[in-house]
Amino acid sequence: METAYLNAFLVVVDTGSLAQAARRLNVTPAAIAQQIHVLERELGTTLLGRAGRTVAPTESGARLAERARTLLRDFGQLRDWVNEAQAPRELRLGTINTALHSLLPETLAGFAAAHPGVSVFIQSDKSAALYDAVKNAELDAAVCLHPPFALPKTIVWELLREEPLVVLAPAALARRDPHDLLRTEPLIRYDRSVGGGKQADRYLRQAGIAAHERFELSSLVAIAMMVDRGLGVSLVPDIASPLTAGLRIAKLTLPEATEPRRFGILWQRASPRTPLILSLLRHARQAAA
């Protein structure tokens, strides 16, 4: 049985879509369907059923999904152990976009100096996708937001930084009231599909602020640059990035308290690369400080 086919089956189960699974795995939906068909033929049962516009595992498929995650994780650890002496060491790291433009370069500088023989593969994505990738052993660790649910005992998450919401405004507007700016100036909105954007949207609604939206995007660095150019104001987590240090912008504290955005490092407790991950965590804490 091909482990790649098992992985494809799990991605379909997690996404509920052959097309979405195909996009994530960079193959065609027909290829995914063929792999599922091979699994069904080998196991002698139907694994997926149609549920409206999505697909869902059958009872047999759910039983396979439960065992397949453990099998793939064990196989990955076995492969790493067998090849450890021959293959160069590698750390597969996921990261949210914010960390990529803030503390990650400094973190990797220290990590690379401490581990010159280790290569690091870096994948940027949203926190939810990174959590799934770590859970499925597709990534060794991820710098991401804490998931909005209790983590299983097999997953570890360590806090790196807390970022309260602030209003970004052109420096010339630094003395204005933050809420007044959000009501009267064009809003450069942080993407509502990511954690910090959802938090900002909740704040606006709870404060009864009907903003005049002009743009919506997912890059906090780009948002800061657009504020610097006078394109509007924004409500975003307070990031610390060298890319924004020279911009003519003001960070205004909100009059109402908010929960800070919290991001850290996530990994599997039983990961064979735990020593490397803990070293990365040490360097990340130094960079965050």
Q: Using CA atoms, how far apart are residues 187 and 177, in angstroms rounded to an integer?
A: 15
Range of the domain at 108: 90-161+262-288
**Does 279 lie in the same domain as 239?**
no
**Does 10 lie in the same domain as 121?**
no
Dihedral (Cα; 168, 172, 178, 183), 10-degree rounding: -90
Signed CA dihedral, 35, 41, 47, 52: sign only:
positive
Instruction: Please list the pLDDT of the chain residue by residue as tens digits (289 residues).
Output: 677 888 888 888 888 888 888 888 888 889 888 988 888 888 888 988 887 778 888 888 888 888 888 787 777 666 666 655 554 488 999 999 888 888 899 999 999 998 888 899 999 998 989 999 999 999 999 999 888 888 888 999 999 888 899 999 999 999 999 999 999 999 999 999 888 899 999 999 999 999 999 999 988 999 999 999 999 999 999 888 888 888 999 999 999 888 888 889 999 988 888 889 999 999 999 888 7
**Does 266 lie in the same domain as 157?**
yes
**Does 239 lie in the same domain as 266?**
no
DSSP E strands, 54-154: 54-57, 90-95, 119-124, 141-145
**Does 251 lie in the same domain as 175?**
yes
**Does 204 lie in the same domain as 139?**
no
**Neighbouring residues of 74: CB distance < 8 A, sequence distance ≥ 6:** none
Nearest 5°: the CA angle 279, 89, 80 is 105
pTM of the complete model beyond 0.75: no
Give the 3-state secondary structure of residue 9: helix
Q: Using CA atoms, how far apart are residues 155 and 269, in angstroms rounded to an integer?
A: 5
